[in-house]
A = this chain, B = another copy of it.
Amino acid sequence: MALLVQKYGGTSVGSIERIEAVADKVISYKQQGHDMVIVVSAMSGETNRLTTLAHEIDPSVRGRELDVLLTTGEQVTIALLSMALQKRGYAAKSYTGGQVKILTDNAHNKARIVSIDAMNIDRDLKQGKIIVVAGFQGVDENGNITTLGRGGSDTTGVALAAALNADECQIFTDVDGVYTTDPRVVAEARKLDRITFEEMLEMASLGSKVLQIRAVEFAGKYDVPLRVLSSFEEGEGTLITSDINEDDTVEQAVISGIAFNRDEAQLTINGVPDTPGVAYQILGPVSDANIEVDMILQNVGADGTTDFTFTVNRNDYDTALEIVQKKASSLGAREASGNNKIVKLSIVGVGMRSHAGIASKMFEILSKEGINILMISTSEIKISVVVEEKYLELGVRALHDGFDLAEDDSE
């Protein structure tokens, strides 16, 4: 017997038929004796339908009334799922974010959860009720309806699991777990049974869009075991947890997965006179233009100058290039250039902390395939390289193979 918080996304509740399937699945857990709290998104398509209505009135609408509008999507789902559970003879009760109450700050459209009152849900659970909570929404301290932004239902699930001290937060989605890399690129990609929060964060932020980053951060912060699994297929999914070896005796694999990101573009200023504050002078105007910067590298060049390189989202490439070209001339730099035909490949794994030689092995694998590395960046549990776009598939497959990720016994 455990207390489980399960979250079902828009596709999983996209029709009455699917809502009824979710009801059956929830009941199968309830019948095993678990206490069940279910977090749901709006039925797929509903948020877009509502957004389209709003945009007919004001294409740039933001703020309070947009939240009042969009939160109806989840409210419809909680009512329908509760009805389906009741129809099957189970006591069920729906909660809007405000009814819980999930207190947020007042940053409409992108609010952050401040606290969750678990009292009412606790009481209803004790009475044997299945609880159905609207994801993605809360209220501020004045009772204004807020939303956590797109994908915020994952965060609702994790935050509720933390507040209720649940045994596990299970995110049901349209994939059956977290893979060593994208199976569309590497057919031999293997589903991971376990992964750490840190690794998941690196995987997610690098483009493996299985879970919302904020939800993973939240789960890590409050140490809520998080499981990703399929709404449509049976299986144990992938457990995301703080200690991957918790009940495992075999040694941890060094590398958990290969992530990649196609959305990058690179900007370089060569021969910048190396004076204090030069990084700020270059990145200040970029930041002022609301452009997010990913990797940043600065090398010592010859003759007292420096070479400065950073990457941005490819959508921001043209604007960023214009900015650095202006800046290069005002700084007296030799030249500014850019490249929007690049990708970032990363190997991720907590095991690399204690293993020397991982980086050189990565470079060796790429070199054997004749792939030239344009940039390198490292963190505690990740090594990223920027390479030409045309090498994406070749590089990912070579790394996946070179680090033995496909082998069944590597686990």
Give A residues with C-beta under 8 Å from B: 16, 19-20, 50, 53-54, 56-58, 61, 64-66, 68-69, 71-72, 75-76, 78-80, 82-84, 86-87, 92-94, 96, 98-99, 143-145
Evaluate contact between A16 and B56: CB separation under 8 angstroms.
Answer: yes
Assembled-state Cα–Cα distance A76/B80 (Å) = 17
Task: Please name all residues of chain B whose beta carbon is closer than 8 Å to the beta carbon of A87 when the two chains form the complex.
Answer: 57-58, 61
Complex: A84 Cα to B53 Cα, angstroms? 11
Expressed in whole angstroms, the Cα–Cα distance for A15 and B13 within the complex equals: 27
Complex contacts, A94 vs chain B, CB 8 Å: 64-65, 68
Contacts of A72 in B (CB 8 A): 72, 75-76, 79
Give A56's nearest chain B residue, CB to CB: B16
Given A57-B19, A98-B98, decide whether A75 and B84 contact each other with a Cβ distance below 8 A: no
Alpha-carbon distance between A98 and B143 when the two chains are bound, in angstroms: 9
Copies of the chain in the assembly? 2
CA distance A84 to B80 in the complex (A): 30
Closest to A58 in B: B87
Contact: B80 with A53, CB < 8 Å? yes
In the A-B complex, the 10 residue pairs with the closest CB atoms: A69-B79, A72-B72, A68-B79, A16-B56, A65-B82, A58-B87, A65-B79, A57-B83, A72-B75, A65-B83
For the complex, what is the distance from the CA of A78 to the CA of B69, rounded to whole Å? Answer: 8
Given contact pairs A58-B86, A72-B75, a sample of 5 additional A-B residue pairs in the complex whose CB atoms are under 8 Å apart: A54-B79, A57-B84, A61-B83, A65-B83, A66-B79
CA distance A16 to B50 in the complex (A): 11
In the complex, what residues of B have CB within 8 A of residue A93's CB? 64
- Determine how close the nearest CB of chain B comes to the CB of A67; give it in whole angstroms: 8
Most buried by B among A16, A58, A75, A80: A80
Chain B residue, CB-CB nearest to A20: B57
Which residues from chain B contact A75 at a C-beta distance below 8 Å?
A: 68-69, 71-72, 75
The smallest beta-carbon distance between A302 and chain B, in angstroms, is: 58
How long is the Cα–Cα vector from A76 to B86 in the complex, in angstroms? Answer: 26
Which residues from B are CB-within-8-Å of A99? 143-145
* Contact B86–A53 (Cβ < 8 Å): no
Instruction: Across the interface, name the chain B residue whose C-beta is closest to A132.
Output: B65
**Which B residues touch A78, using CB under 8 A?**
68
**Residues of B contacting A145 in the complex (Cβ-Cβ under 8 angstroms):** 96, 99
A197 to B76, alpha carbons, bound, how many Å? 38
Check A57/B80 contact, CB under 8 A, given A75-B75, A143-B99: yes
Tell me, rounded to whole Å, the shortest Cβ–Cβ distance linking A133 to chain B: 12
CB–CB A57/B98 < 8 A: no
List chain B residues, Cβ under 8 A from A50: 76
Return the chain B residue nearest A144 by Cβ: B99
Q: Who on chain B is nearest to A74 by CB?
A: B72
17 contacts between A and B (CB under 8 A): A16-B53, A16-B56, A19-B57, A53-B76, A57-B83, A58-B84, A58-B86, A64-B94, A65-B79, A65-B94, A66-B79, A68-B75, A68-B94, A69-B75, A69-B80, A72-B75, A99-B143
